Structure 1
Amino acid sequence: MEPDPDLKRVFRTTIIINGTLVASLFLDAFIVELIKFQLKPFPGLLVSGLRHQTLRYLFFGAAVGAVVLVRLAGRALPKMTPGEGLHHIIPRLSRTAVITSALGELPALLGFVLFLLTGFSRDFYVLLFVSLFLEFMYFPRLRAWQDLIRERFPQKGI
Structure 2
Amino acid sequence: MGDQPSITRRGVLVGAGAVAGMFAVGGAAYALEGEDRGLLRPPGAQDEAHFRATCLKCNRCETACPQHCLRTGVLEDGLLNWRTPIMDFHRGVCDFCGICEDVCPAGSIAGAHDPAQVIGVAVVDRERCIAWAQGGCQVCVDACPYGAIALDDANRPVVDQAKCNGCGACE
TM-score range, shorter chain: under 0.3
Query: Larger C-alpha radius of gyration, 1 or 2?
Result: 2
TM-score by structure 2 length? 0.22
TM-score by structure 1 length? 0.24
- Structure with higher strand content: 2
Higher RCO (CA-CA < 8 Å; seq separation 6+): 1
- Structure with higher helix content: 1
